[in-house]
Chains A and B, each alone.
Chain A
Amino acid sequence: MDEQRETGFFDSVEEVTARLAEVGYLASTAVATTVFLADRLGKPLLVEGPAGVGKTELAKAVAAVAGARLVRLQCYEGVDESRALYEWNHAKQLLRITAGREEGWEQARTDIFSEEFLLPRPLLTAIRGSEPTVLLIDETDKADVEVEGLLLEVLSDFQVTVPELGTITAERRPFVLLTSNASRELSEALRRRCLFLHLDFPDPELEVRIVRSRVPGLDQVLAESVVKVVGALRAMELRKAPSVAETIDWARTLLALGADTLDDAVVRRSLGVILKHQEDLRRAAEKLTLA
């Protein structure tokens, strides 16, 4: 059973860590372990956590190291079956009917509901292919509850039912990664089908390594200070805590400003890079007691 279930991208947790690092994704123990398990057990991985900790990046990185194509379903309020699964190409069907005026109804009917007129959307695309695939279902919490029902069939059996064609089962399981910002509670049923990973801000040491790998010109001491200040900001109760991406942006900005230490003036000038609300800026300045 296991032979067909696993996606077979990785052989060990160490390998996950090493290969993700090759494409610039520094994974924590939690990330490496869950990615390995999702791969080995053939279960979808649900990644939750605050915005900007690298949930989407993780899917991209896995696709990159596995040499797999990345199929992405971006969820939003109102995304439906025809956006997520498949759609019939009505225009083409009409053309086909007009072109074959002479033929009988029976023949036309079997014809216009064939694969040729099917427009596969992300979920069907991910299931139909025979090449290695990473399916990213992004911001699952934004989609309506009905879409979750749709996902249930896809994620438990990796199959899709098209009434006119029958059931299409995956020849090769895609590696599935769902992300959520927890703005809506996902259903119990959906959660039960997934492995769960809460991705939080990386610990300081890891974040320093991430920053330095992305901003090579930055020296160790400054990188450490940057991460320290960002850590202090995250500990404050701000409307939007700075993400890893913003830490990197800030590091780049500091480099561009030619700053070699973090003094009050530099921080005050560049704090806007990481804090996006006036209120947050005010509070941060107050708490960090910037003169």
Chain B
Amino acid sequence: MSAAQRQALPERLTAFVQALRANALRVGPAETVDAAQVLAVLGLADRERLREGLAAALLRAHGQRAVFDATFDLYFPSRVGEPEATRQSADPTVEELREQLAAALAAGDSAAMAQLAAGAVGALGAFGQAPGAGGWSAHQTLDRLRPQILLARVLAALREGRGEARPSELTERIEPDEIRRRIEAFRALVATEARRRSAELRGTEEIARRAVAPSVDQIDFLFAGREQLAELRRAVRPLSRKLATRLAARRRRAARGQLDVRRTVRRSLGTGGVPLRPAYRRRHPQRPELVLLCDVSSSVAGFSDFTMLLVQALREEFSRVRVFAFVNRVDEVTDLLGPGAGDPGTLARRILAEATVLGYHPYSDYGSALGEFQQRYRDVVGPRSSVLILGDARNNNRDPNLPALRQLARQARRVHWLNPEQPSYWSTGDSAALAYAGVVPMHPCRNARQLGELITRLLPL
């Protein structure tokens, strides 16, 4: 750290905080002051300590950590320019890099992995010609290096290195998974390094704004990749517990009841007009019924994954939940979601395999699904049921069958529609969302955060 850079520390810290805010982390001035104190106490000597210290001062939830780390790497880079080690050796070939990476993976040597990530981005990740016009791409680096093909090589190296002293068959069986996790970690390192070097080219602020992935609970359901889905799933699980405590609190409050003046006065006649025994208006406990209608077609795959998770959570909370899945035909899947139903990924597949949700074509058809629901399951929905419909309302230009939805809305206590698309898309293409939204309230529900908020607001006691 040079003297000039040190001088600019307060500015850098505020810029860092700004970047965090730009990525939707709520960081107030009080946190910034704390962070400045942390900076003063810890100094810049140890970067990992600084990272942890600033995280402690600026973050309020673990879901924000990924965004924080990526932004931290940009504003407090581990080094500037090209790393020392790669500058000396001539451009390494892809095969050399792979060789070194395999060794580092086998040893689980994170320092070597970080250095190789830097080297790989330098050797394989540059695109464009003139400095300033091009940039550094993690995608391109990984595409050329293909670290995933190293798995077999790493495993063989491990086995060989061990020689006679084999720990056990079991440990060897779980080793591939562990190496896969290490490879994932390496990919993340490459992404960080590419971002850092792009930031040097094009200015930290712009990269921080564009290249840092959103925090977990803000990942769009419809655009989530496989890894993001796994991460989201972990984020949703505590949600169900949160939901349980919040609902329990609401029920407790609702159970208290109000003073019934008429009956209290009447009772007080027995004690000469002194209201010794107040009477309360007691609410008759109603058993809330929940009916879920879920689109499980592939266009909303990410979303329906979560719906399934949530449904499992709701089942524990509500005594009567009935779940129906549809693509263009509708079928009850309540039993498939019973305890021990397995993880949501396989669950979605099981529903497609075991329930009749597909007719003669594989496209969503809300109109015929609603119609069939009215025909086959008319008795399921009564004046005490709340109905949640989950889907994007993309009807492939078929008849939306609004009368069926109107009928459903009349029968049920209330009907809500959760739509994973943002409202500005509701009127586009084959979406029948606006037509349906005219009949029942429709809410945009694009990420785990919105889902959590909506569910607690909409659910009956």
Give A contacts to B, CB under 8 Å: 13, 29-30, 32-34, 36-37, 40-41, 43, 45, 48-49, 144, 182-185, 188, 191-192, 195-198, 204, 221-222, 224-225, 228-229, 231-232, 235, 237, 261-264, 267, 279, 282, 288-290
Given contacts A41-B37, A182-B238, A185-B242, contact A196 B171 (CB under 8 A): no
> What's the least CB distance linking B347 to chain A, in Å?
12
B178 within 8 A of A: yes
B59 within 8 A of A: yes
| A192 CA / B27 CA spacing, docked (Å) | 10
Which residues of chain A come closer than 8 Å to B37, judged between CB atoms? 41
B88 within 8 A of A: no
| A229 CA / B168 CA spacing, docked (Å) | 11
Q: Is the CB of A232 within 8 A of B168?
A: no
| A166 CA / B155 CA spacing, docked (Å) | 69
| A121 CA / B59 CA spacing, docked (Å) | 31
Q: Is the CB of B241 within 8 A of A261?
A: no
- CB-nearest residue of chain B to A268: B170
| A40 CA / B58 CA spacing, docked (Å) | 17
- CB-nearest residue of chain B to A142: B245
B139 within 8 A of A: no
Q: Is the CB of B57 within 8 A of A229?
A: no
Which residues of chain B come closer than 8 Å to A263, judged between CB atoms? 168-170
| A231 CA / B48 CA spacing, docked (Å) | 24
- CB-nearest residue of chain A to B50: A33
Q: Is the CB of A29 within 8 A of B52?
A: yes
> What's the least CB distance linking A192 to chain B, in Å?
6
List 17 additional A-B contacts (Cβ < 8 Å) besides A48-B61, A48-B62, A228-B175: A29-B48, A33-B42, A33-B56, A37-B42, A183-B241, A183-B245, A184-B246, A185-B242, A198-B62, A221-B167, A225-B171, A228-B171, A228-B174, A231-B178, A235-B177, A263-B169, A288-B170
| A182 CA / B245 CA spacing, docked (Å) | 11
B41 within 8 A of A: yes
Residue in A184, A198, A229 whose beta carbon sits within 8 Å of that of B245 in the complex: A184
Which residues of chain B come closer than 8 Å to A32, judged between CB atoms? 49
| A185 CA / B49 CA spacing, docked (Å) | 27
Which residues of chain B come closer than 8 Å to A41, judged between CB atoms? 34, 37-38, 41
B343 within 8 A of A: yes
Which residues of chain A come closer than 8 Å to B41, judged between CB atoms? 36-37, 40-41
Q: How large is the interface on B (under 10, 10 to 19, 20 to 34, 35 or more residues)?
A: 35 or more
Residue in A34, A222, A232 whose beta carbon sits within 8 Å of that of B174 in the complex: A232
Residue in A191, A195, A198, A267 whose beta carbon sits within 8 Å of that of B65 in the complex: A198
Residue in B53, B65, B167, B181 whose beta carbon sits within 8 Å of that of A33 in the complex: B53
Which residues of chain B come closer than 8 Å to A13, judged between CB atoms? 42, 46, 49
Q: Is the CB of A183 within 8 A of B242?
A: yes
> What's the least CB distance linking A86 to chain B, in Å?
26
B28 within 8 A of A: yes
Which residues of chain A come closer than 8 Å to B46, judged between CB atoms? 13
> What's the least CB distance linking B327 to chain A, in Å?
26
B131 within 8 A of A: no
Residue in B165, B173, B175, B181 whose beta carbon sits within 8 Å of that of A288 in the complex: B173
Which residues of chain A come closer than 8 Å to B56, judged between CB atoms? 30, 33-34, 37, 45, 195-197
Going nearest first, the 4 A-B pairs with the smallest beta carbon separation are A198-B62, A232-B174, A30-B52, A195-B56
Q: Is the CB of B167 within 8 A of A261?
A: yes
Offer 25 A-B interface pairs, CB within 8 angstroms, sorted by A.
Answer: A13-B46, A33-B53, A33-B56, A34-B53, A36-B41, A37-B42, A40-B41, A48-B61, A144-B249, A182-B242, A183-B242, A184-B242, A184-B245, A196-B57, A221-B165, A221-B167, A222-B167, A225-B168, A228-B175, A232-B177, A232-B178, A261-B167, A267-B170, A289-B173, A290-B170
